Structure 1
Amino acid sequence: MKNILLSFLFILGCVNNNKEINIVIDAPPSTLEPHSVREIPVLTILSNIYETLLGFDNNMKMTNLLAEYWEKKDSITWEFTLRKNVYFHNGKELTPEDVIYSLKRPFTIPNSEIKIYQDVIDTIYKENDRKVIIKTKKPYPLILFDISMVFIIPENYNPSKEPPCGTGPYRFEKMDEKELLLSFFNKYWGEKPDILRARFVFLRDKEKKLNLLKEGKADIVSYISFSSVDEFANYGNIITTTGLGARYLEFNLKKYPFNLKEFRYALNIGIDREKLCKEAYRGFATPANQYFPPGVFGFDISLPAIKYNPEEAKKIISRIKNIPEIVFDYSYARALIAELIAEDLKKIGLKIRKNPLQSSEFWNKIEKKESYFYIIARIPTNYDGISIISNSFYTFIPEKGKGMQNNINYSNKIVDSIIDEISKIEDEEIVEEKLHYIQNLLLEDIPKIPVVWEKDIFVTSRRIIWTPRLDKLLILKEIKLKRL
């Protein structure tokens, strides 16, 4: 009998272990504050801990999360009915007060990228024990997209001083300089996932990543370099996103010579995008010719490719006087891409000083607006092109949540006014026409340079069944395990 019991316990231990996975990512999230930034590494962690009223499935279609259903009562009134029997990780049951507190909290956080709806909210109040009413100052159809970015936390909870506490399927265990641990929350309102525990391992070194995969100690390795695909393919399955991520060259428009439109135009036509896609991306990217990736509302299929013309670019550069040496900032993870771009820019007569940085250093410099020239990825978190334009090109007004990703000091009153106008329009055809008009203005002005639409590459162990999301978030409950 004793031997039978021991055998049973051994099998049970193996089963539990098989419900755990190890995910290797380059670096820890820059913050665990739920209402601050919209960075993919941060959202990947937080989206497993917290939930929003409404969200998006892996095909970017809007779904109900903590709101069981919603109704538009009139042009400015939105009613949300909360799910029953939803609990936070501290045991507290979800109430309308939690939702109201969470929706208002981003307004109190300086430079929050979440509070873009602040200027249109009139009131948020409790209708009854399950219903929350949001009233806007004017018709604002984008409110559903805006609140889908707001994680719901317990009323009066301060995540800046306390561990993360949400309603999501996974509760926070711990984080140190090496790893972050999440475990399944037993009172989760939704279906029980395959994964019961996840370890996010922070590791940048390629050889160490390979060794973990070889030894069976890694189930998902994120953001594989394009040059390493063949090596990793020997030990796992290579999977990719579908290419909604956009890579841009950005610059400080208040600094010479980036304040000159003709200089920006020379940069734009001086980059060999086809060569970049072939040599740096090995086919895992396509040349970008606009600010909306394919598949995002606002994409204009009629726009031509940006023609590579180094001779014309060189002539323009020769006419601009006293161009200083340009410091080119980029993350080590994108070194090959940046080096090819630097070569192209040297060919048109520029002096480029390459400045590779660790990921944390790079993002810190970007957030403080201390970089004058850099390459960066921008990834849409939904199919709404309006949010891309509004976040990236609206004049930076942090107290109103406007232009929160406008790190380039761009300001155009015409663009601002059209964005304001679009937010009141419900007819999609008219909105699309105006988005195309804005984009043509931007492509003429070139406040930043679209380079490529790129895919990210992951490798998984043989037991993982998973399709990466279009928004590149890694949602644990969407991962399935093969029954080996």
Structure 2
Amino acid sequence: MSKQITIILAAVLVPVLAACAPEPPPALVIGMASGPVSLDPHTQDEGVTASILSNMYEGLMGFDPHLKVVPVLADGYNNPDERTWVFTLRRDVRFHDGRPLTPEDVVYSLDRARTHPDSVFRTMLAVVHQVRKLDDRTVVIITRRPQPVLIRMLALVSIIPAGFRPERDIRGTGPYMMTRYIPRQELSAEYFPQYHGPVPEFQAVTWRFIIDDQQRAQALIDGRIDLDSDLAAADEERVKWQNHLAVAAWHGSSVTCLNLNVGGDPRTNPLADRRVRQAISLAINR
């Protein structure tokens, strides 16, 4: 599915915008149709929330721009038998409060993600039997049965400091650290100078939440935001006519499902009629 995005991709700033410049330039302001549902990276998997938090939180593993799984907080890993995974942690990682990353943080994060009553990862991580510290740089994960895609699963789980409660604050290891959050209005973050990876393109980023499509497009035209990550099709033409703006579209990795309620009487629920469902299927441009 293609998504209309102006200038750059808002969802994941670091892989797309990573650069080697010694000093990042000024702030980027991104307009979005909605804000994060929660600041807790373990209790939601909603797209907007994940796209924002992914700039501040990281996992043991992650995805590169080509969606290949690569080590992030892990320096490397090995799989000595079909149920055992051994991860060596990087030495140069610090949380936004200055604390170094330790195996205790990884154990706490993965245990929280697989046992917290509101965690969206409980089912996915049910295959994990045990997470334990082996030494000061090593974490061992034992699964209940062979799970060859475990490293892909771990790319989705953010690592937080041991004992930290992330409901109202963000304390990750990512390239940006949160500086201001006004629910339903905006979230701002600055470059974390102790970040272990490449220096990002911008010194600071603000995500501004503007629900109305026309107001958000006008803010882009007026220069009050630099990017509209949710540009509506109805506003595309007037944005294209602006000499200082550009519209770009490309395929994303998200999947959209159309779920139909086919129960009940066709007289009250047209979708219960097979012919209606066939008509909908034929109308979809594949």
TM-score between the two structures when normalised by the length of structure 1 = 0.50
Distance in 2 between the 1:63 and 1:125 partners?
22
2:34 to 23, 27, 40: 27
1:131 paired residue number: 138
Q: CA deviation at 1:106?
A: 1.9
Q: CA deviation at 1:69?
A: 0.8
1:256 to 264, 267, 272: 264
- For the residue of structure 2 that corresponds to 1:63, the secondary structure is strand
Distance in 1 between the 2:273 and 2:58 partners?
41
1:183 paired residue number: 190
1:424 paired residue number: none
Distance in 1 between the 2:84 and 2:265 partners?
48
Indicate yes or no: 2:163 matched with 1:170: no
Any idea what the Cα deviations from partners look like across 1:194-215, whole Å, max 9, x if unmatched? 2110111111223322332223
Quick one: structure 1 residues 147 and 230, their matched pair in 2 at CA, closer, same or farther if it must change by over 3 Å? same
- Contact 1:76–1:135 (8 Å) recurs in 2: yes
Distance in 1 between the 2:92 and 2:281 partners?
56
Distance in 1 between the 2:260 and 2:95 partners?
42
Q: CA deviation at 1:244?
A: 4.2
1:337 paired residue number: none
Any idea what the Cα deviations from partners look like across 1:231-289, whole Å, max 9, x if unmatched? 11123111123154443332457x5359x9x9374443121655x6xxxxxxxxx42xx
Distance in 1 between the 2:98 and 2:33 partners?
33
- Contact 2:217–2:231 (8 Å) recurs in 1: no
- Contact 1:88–1:166 (8 Å) recurs in 2: yes
Distance in 2 between the 1:20 and 1:95 partners?
32
Matched AA of 2:35 = P
Matched AA of 1:154 = P
- For the residue of structure 1 that corresponds to 2:251, the secondary structure is coil
Distance in 1 between the 2:225 and 2:147 partners?
45
- For the residue of structure 2 that corresponds to 1:73, the secondary structure is strand
2:75 to 68, 71, 75: 68
Indicate yes or no: 2:103 matched with 1:121: no
Q: Considering only aligned residues, what root-mean-square deviation do their CA atoms show, in Å? A: 2.3
Distance in 2 between the 1:248 and 1:206 partners?
23
Q: CA deviation at 1:59?
A: 1.8
Indicate yes or no: 2:279 matched with 1:270: yes
Distance in 1 between the 2:248 and 2:72 partners?
27
Quick one: structure 1 residues 207 and 134, their matched pair in 2 at CA, closer, same or farther if it must change by over 3 Å? same
Larger Rg: 1
- For the residue of structure 2 that corresponds to 1:241, the secondary structure is strand
Quick one: structure 1 residues 34 and 245, their matched pair in 2 at CA, closer, same or farther if it must change by over 3 Å? closer
Q: CA deviation at 1:18?
A: 4.7
2:18 paired residue number: none
1:370 paired residue number: none
Q: Unpaired runs of 5+ in structure 1? A: 1-15, 277-285, 288-484
- For the residue of structure 2 that corresponds to 1:232, the secondary structure is helix
Quick one: structure 1 residues 267 and 157, their matched pair in 2 at CA, closer, same or farther if it must change by over 3 Å? farther
1:307 paired residue number: none
Distance in 2 between the 1:93 and 1:240 partners?
39
Distance in 2 between the 1:210 and 1:119 partners?
43
Any idea what the Cα deviations from partners look like across 1:45-101, whole Å, max 9, x if unmatched? 110110001111122111110011111111111111111121101111100010011
- For the residue of structure 1 that corresponds to 2:54, the secondary structure is helix
Q: CA deviation at 1:118?
A: 3.3
- Contact 2:86–2:140 (8 Å) recurs in 1: yes
Distance in 2 between the 1:135 and 1:187 partners?
32
- Contact 2:217–2:235 (8 Å) recurs in 1: no
1:104 paired residue number: 111
1:193 to 200, 212, 229: 200
- Contact 2:24–2:203 (8 Å) recurs in 1: no
Answer 1 or 2: higher relative contact order, Cα 8 Å, separation at least 6. 2
1:241 paired residue number: 250
Q: Unpaired runs of 5+ in structure 2? A: 1-22
Distance in 2 between the 1:102 and 1:153 partners?
6
Q: CA deviation at 1:140?
A: 1.2
Distance in 1 between the 2:273 and 2:54 partners?
37
- Contact 2:114–2:126 (8 Å) recurs in 1: no
Distance in 1 between the 2:35 and 2:188 partners?
12
- Contact 2:161–2:172 (8 Å) recurs in 1: yes
Any idea what the Cα deviations from partners look like across 1:289-308, whole Å, max 9, x if unmatched? xxxxxxxxxxxxxxxxxxxx
- Contact 2:115–2:122 (8 Å) recurs in 1: no
Quick one: structure 1 residues 152 and 265, their matched pair in 2 at CA, closer, same or farther if it must change by over 3 Å? farther
Indicate yes or no: 2:233 matched with 1:216: no
- Contact 1:23–1:222 (8 Å) recurs in 2: yes
Quick one: structure 1 residues 264 and 65, their matched pair in 2 at CA, closer, same or farther if it must change by over 3 Å? farther
Matched AA of 1:107 = R
Quick one: structure 1 residues 128 and 267, their matched pair in 2 at CA, closer, same or farther if it must change by over 3 Å? farther
Distance in 1 between the 2:151 and 2:85 partners?
9
Matched AA of 1:112 = S
Distance in 2 between the 1:264 and 1:170 partners?
51
Matched AA of 1:241 = W
1:159 to 166, 183, 187: 166
- Contact 2:55–2:174 (8 Å) recurs in 1: yes
Distance in 1 between the 2:68 and 2:110 partners?
22
- Contact 2:69–2:151 (8 Å) recurs in 1: no
